[in-house]
Every structure is written in structure tokens, then in C-alpha cells.
Amino acid sequence: MGCAVKIALDGEIFELEEATLAVSERGFLYGDGIFETIRLYGGRAFGAERHLSRMTRSAKFLSLPEPNPDLFTIAEELSRLNGHHDGAARITLTRGNAAAPLRPDQSAAKPTTLVTTRALPPGLEATQHDGVPGRTLPYPLRAEGLALQNHKTINYLPSLLALRDVPAGETPIIETTGGNLSEAATSNLFWVKERTLYTPSLSMGALPGIARELVIELAAEASVEVCEVAKTKSALLNADEAFLTNSIIEVTPLTSLDGEEIATGVPGPLTRLLQELWHKKVVKDIGGYGSPGSKD
Ligand SMILES: Cc1ncc(COP(=O)(O)O)c(C=O)c1O
């Protein structure tokens, strides 16, 4: 493995410092694009079909060109080139270089695709084990029933603002204008009450997370009832346990909210069960959880 980090721009591999984008790139000018963040285990993209199908749905919704499945193969190849076998890949797809006309259906742009990989965040195993504290924001960042919120667009300012406005080390918990729970800044939210699993419904502005989808399936397979709901933060404060999900953090316990412990503040049994079921699913789909290749 060389030292320089490689990326893939429009299907061609470059060293990071050598790749450039045009100033008329619509992703840069207007946030006119979508992205996926994918977890790699042993150099294999986990849940690639689910990510591709979410990206395709969003591309259709926004009249963007549909993503080529090869982008996922490129992500796997890059992860090996960069030594990020057990890491994360990001696939970004924008409408390309055409500042005008503004109307997307009249733009003659050809899409730009960018694939990058990175290592997992430091301390991930410890936070998966111990959990993270949550903090609601003093303002809403989602409204109910807005379709655009259900797409993973490159307009990431709400999440960035949320991250800025909670103390370091805490996870922002986002509410709607109606005072209901929506999700976290970069993950979906779940809680458990009397053996039933709850999560905010997508109409609360939550992203249809790949990890959310998988956890709902794993819970159903384990005969745990799952309810998608509109609930305020008191439901979370009265929960028996709570956790967050995304493709990178998998299932990570949420141990407190606004300084108050959730139940005893210790990760609960259903959280632990779902962590275990996730692990088994990776072994089943990928053939292992991590690989010797990751030490390259
Ligand atoms: C706002 C938001 N919600 C939820 C998620 C979880 O999505 P996924 O499970 O697909 O990683 C993300 C992922 O980055 C996110 O940015």
C-alpha cells in the first residue's frame, strides 16, 4: 500500500491531492446531489444493495441520473488500496458541472461521482460498549411530512448545526417543529419500553437509515414488536433502554438525555441482543467480521 490516499472521481482513480472539481459543479454551488456512507468489513461493502436502492430512489425523486452499481465495486477496491478494509466509504453523486440553467430538468450536466474511503472513527468500540449521552437542541431541525428530509442529500447543514450546538462528546437529538422526536444528527433513534421497540416514523423527518431498516428486520426476526411512532422526548426519558443506529456505529447505546440517565444509564439487554444479531448478520453476509487484510 502506498502512502498517498486514493479517491475515485468519475470512475478514475487519483491521488487525493490531484483530483479537482470545476467551479460550476452543482454539488458545490447548490448542494445538488446525494450521497451514501457505507461500512466496509474486510474490504467488502455491507448492505450494498440496500444503499444502492436508497440512492436510486433518491436519484429518481430528484431527477438525478441513477447511480451505477459499479460505484460500490470501486468503493471496495479503494478500501483495499487505502488500507481501509474495515472502514467507511462515501459515494457522492451530483448533477455535475452546469451552473445554469437552475432548473434541474433543463440542465445539460453530466453527473459527477466521487468515491472516498476513510478509517473508522477513533474509539468506536468503546462507545459501542459504553454508550453515548444525548442532548436535545433548543430549536427544531425537522418538520413533519416534508419529503425531502427522507433523502440523503449533500445539504448537511442541519446536522452540522446540531453538532455545533451540543457539548463535545454528546449526540444531538433532533426534534420536529411539533415537538416530536425525529432522529439524531447522523443516526436514527430507537428506544425500548416493556420489550417493545420504538422509533420515530419517517414522517417525523427521519432519514430511512440502512441500519434502521436492518435493525427493524432483526428485531422482527427475534419476535420483538417494532412500532414507528410520533412521540415527544418524555417517551425517551421514560424508556427502559435506548440506542442509535447508522451504518458506521451499527447499534450504539444511548445512555442519557439532557443530563438525565435513561433507565439506569447502562446499555440494556435488547440493545446488546441487537448488537449481537448485527454482528451475526455481517458474518453471514460477508463471511467474517473484519479480516486479516485490515492489518495491511
Ligand atoms: C441524518 C441522518 N440520519 C440517519 C442516518 C443513518 O443512516 P444509515 O443507517 O443509512 O447509515 C444518517 C447517516 O449518516 C444521517 O446522516
Give the Å distances, CA to CA, from 204 to 54, 114, 259: 18, 30, 24
Of 91, 120, 149, the domain-final residue = 120
State mean pLDDT over 243-250.
98
183 touches ligand 1 (CB under 6 Å): yes
In the chain, % of residues over pLDDT 70:
97
Residues 191 and 252 placed together within one structural domain of the fold = yes
pLDDT the model gives residue 280: 98
- How far apart CA 38 and CA 286 sit, in angstroms, is 14
Residues 193 and 96 placed together within one structural domain of the fold = no
Residues 167 and 113 placed together within one structural domain of the fold = no
pLDDT the model gives residue 118: 98
Within a domain: 58: yes
Residues 115 and 68 placed together within one structural domain of the fold = yes
186 touches ligand 1 (CB under 6 Å): yes
pLDDT the model gives residue 295: 32
pLDDT the model gives residue 82: 98
pLDDT the model gives residue 131: 98
The helices-and-strands tally (H runs, E runs) of the chain is 8, 15
CATH code (residue 240)? 3.20.10.10
What is the model's pTM? 0.96
180 touches ligand 1 (CB under 6 Å): no
For the stretch 267-292, pLDDT in tens is 999 999 999 999 999 999 998 886 54
Determine the residue of 124, 176, 187 to mutate for testing ligand 1's pocket, defined as the one with the most ligand atoms within 8 A of the Cβ atom: 187
Residues 36 and 129 placed together within one structural domain of the fold = no
CA 38 – ligand 1 centroid, Å: 10
Whether the predicted pLDDT of 294 surpasses 80: no
Per the prediction, the chain carries an average pLDDT of: 95
215 touches ligand 1 (CB under 6 Å): no
Q: How many domains does the chain have?
A: 2
CA-nearest residue for atom 2, ligand 1, is 186
Determine the residue of 34, 120, 137, 207 to mutate for testing ligand 1's pocket, defined as the one with the most ligand atoms within 8 A of the Cβ atom: 207
Whether the predicted pLDDT of 216 surpasses 60: yes
CA-nearest residue for atom 14, ligand 1, is 186
Q: At what angle do helices 70-81 and 48-61 cross, to 10 degrees?
A: 130
Which domain does 200 fall in, by range? 125-284
State mean pLDDT over 219-242.
98
Within a domain: 296: no
Residues 99 and 135 placed together within one structural domain of the fold = no
User: Quick check: 149 and 167 in contact, CB under 8 A?
Assistant: no
User: Quick check: 55 and 34 in contact, CB under 8 A?
Assistant: yes
Within a domain: 293: no
For the stretch 155-189, pLDDT in tens is 999 999 999 999 999 999 999 999 999 999 999 99
Residues 189 and 255 placed together within one structural domain of the fold = yes
171 touches ligand 1 (CB under 6 Å): no
Within a domain: 168: yes
CA 220 – ligand 1 centroid, Å: 21
Determine the residue of 58, 246, 247 to mutate for testing ligand 1's pocket, defined as the one with the most ligand atoms within 8 A of the Cβ atom: 246
Residues 20 and 149 placed together within one structural domain of the fold = no
Whether the predicted pLDDT of 293 surpasses 50: no
182 touches ligand 1 (CB under 6 Å): no
Q: Give one DSSP letter per residue of 82-124, joined into a string.
A: TT-TTEEEEEEEE--B----SSGGG--PPPEEEEEEEEPPTTH
212 touches ligand 1 (CB under 6 Å): yes
Whether the predicted pLDDT of 245 surpasses 60: yes
For the stretch 38-62, pLDDT in tens is 999 999 999 999 999 999 999 999 9
Whether the predicted pLDDT of 2 surpasses 60: no
pLDDT the model gives residue 106: 82
Residues 84 and 35 placed together within one structural domain of the fold = yes
pLDDT the model gives residue 289: 80
Residues 64 and 198 placed together within one structural domain of the fold = no
Residues paired with residue 142 on neighbouring β-strands, in sequence order = 176
207 touches ligand 1 (CB under 6 Å): yes
The H-assigned helical ranges of 131-268 are 157-164, 210-221, 233-237
State mean pLDDT over 94-101.
95
Residue 64 neighbours by CB under 8 Å, 6+ apart: 32, 33, 34, 58, 93, 94, 95, 104, 111
pLDDT the model gives residue 180: 98
252 touches ligand 1 (CB under 6 Å): no
Of 120, 145, 167, the domain-final residue = 120
- How far apart CA 120 and CA 106 sit, in angstroms, is 40
Residues 23 and 149 placed together within one structural domain of the fold = no
Residues 263 and 164 placed together within one structural domain of the fold = yes
274 membership: H or E segment, kind and range: helix 269-286
C-alpha 168: how far from chain center: 20
Confidence category of residue 3, pLDDT binned at 50, 70, 90: confident
